[in-house]
Amino acid sequence: MKERNKRVLVGMSGGIDSTAACLMLQEQGYEIVGVTMRVWGDEPQDARELAARMGIEHYVADERIPFKETIVKNFIDEYKQGRTPNPCVMCNPLFKFRVLTEWADKLDCDWIATGHYSRLEEKNGHIYIIAGDDDKKDQSYFLWRLGQEVLKRCIFPLGDYTKVKVREYLAEKGYEAKSKEGESMEVCFIKGDYRDFLREQCPELDSEIGPGWFVNSEGVKLGQHKGAPYYTIGQRKGLEIALGKPAYVLKINPQKNTVMLGDAEQLKTDYMLAEQDKIVDEQELFQCENLTVRIRYRSRPLACRVRRLEDGRLLVRFLETASAIAPGQSAVFYDGKRVLGGAFIASQRGIGLVILENEGF
Q: Is 22 among the catalytic positions?
A: no
Q: Is 355 annotated as a binding residue?
A: no
Integer Cα distance of 128 and 37 in angstroms = 25
Secondary structure letter of residue 68 according to DSSP: I
248, 236 Cβ separation under 8 angstroms: yes
Integer Cα distance of 143 and 332 in angstroms = 9
Q: Is 15 annotated as a binding residue?
A: yes
In 10 A of CB 49, how many CB atoms?
Answer: 12
Q: Is 109 among the catalytic positions?
A: no
Please state the separation of Cα 135 from the chain's center in Å: 15
Instruction: For residue 128, give every residue at least 6 positions away whose Cβ sits within 8 Å of its Cβ, in sequence order, or none.
Output: 120, 121, 122, 280, 338, 339, 340
Backbone phi, psi, residue 267, to 5°: -80, -15
Q: Is 140 annotated as a binding residue?
A: no
Q: Is 295 annotated as a binding residue?
A: no
Q: What is the CA radius of gyration of the chain?
A: 22
Backbone phi, psi, residue 68, to 5°: -65, -40
Q: Is 118 annotated as a binding residue?
A: no
| Letter string b/e over residues 203-217, b meaning 16 or more CB atoms within 10 A of that residue's CB | eebeeebeebbbbee
- Coil, strand or helix: which one is 287? helix
Please state the separation of Cα 287 from the chain's center in Å: 26
Q: Is 77 annotated as a binding residue?
A: no
In 10 A of CB 53, how many CB atoms?
Answer: 12
Catalytic residue among 22, 88, 91, 288: 91
Q: Is 12 annotated as a binding residue?
A: yes
Using CA atoms, how far residue 101 sits from 10, 43, 94, 128, 212, in Å, is 10, 22, 11, 18, 45
307, 286 Cβ separation under 8 angstroms: yes
- Across 157-234, the runs of DSSP E, i.e. the strands, are 212-215, 221-225
Q: Is 16 annotated as a binding residue?
A: yes
- Across 85-153, the runs of DSSP E, i.e. the strands, are 111-113, 118-123, 126-131
- What are the residue numbers of the active site? 91, 188
Residues of the binding site for ATP: 11-18, 37, 115
Residues of the binding site: 11-18, 37, 115
